[in-house]
Homo-oligomer: A and B are copies of this chain.
């Protein structure tokens, strides 16, 4: 009965891509730990780039600097 939370920046992941993440993580837990997919939850959080920092800098600024 695993619970997986995936946090990514909100930069245009499609419903199809999020479906692939849900499928892929669930299958991984079956393959590695023989977990029951029926009780495996995956929750994806999409975070605004102003609200995510790395190296002390918001991702919004990192994207502009590129």
Contact = CB atoms under 8 A, between A and B. Distances in A.
Interface in A26-43: 26-29, 31-33, 35, 37-43
Contact of A7 (B2, B22, B37): B2
Nearest to A56: B26
Copies in the complex: 6
Interface in A2-45: 2-9, 13, 15, 17-29, 31-33, 35, 37-45
Nearest to A22: B53
Classify chain A: how many residues form its interface, as a range.
35 or more
Given A1-B41, A44-B51, A51-B45, A56 B6 contact: no
Interface of A: 1-9, 13, 15, 17-29, 31-33, 35, 37-47, 50-61
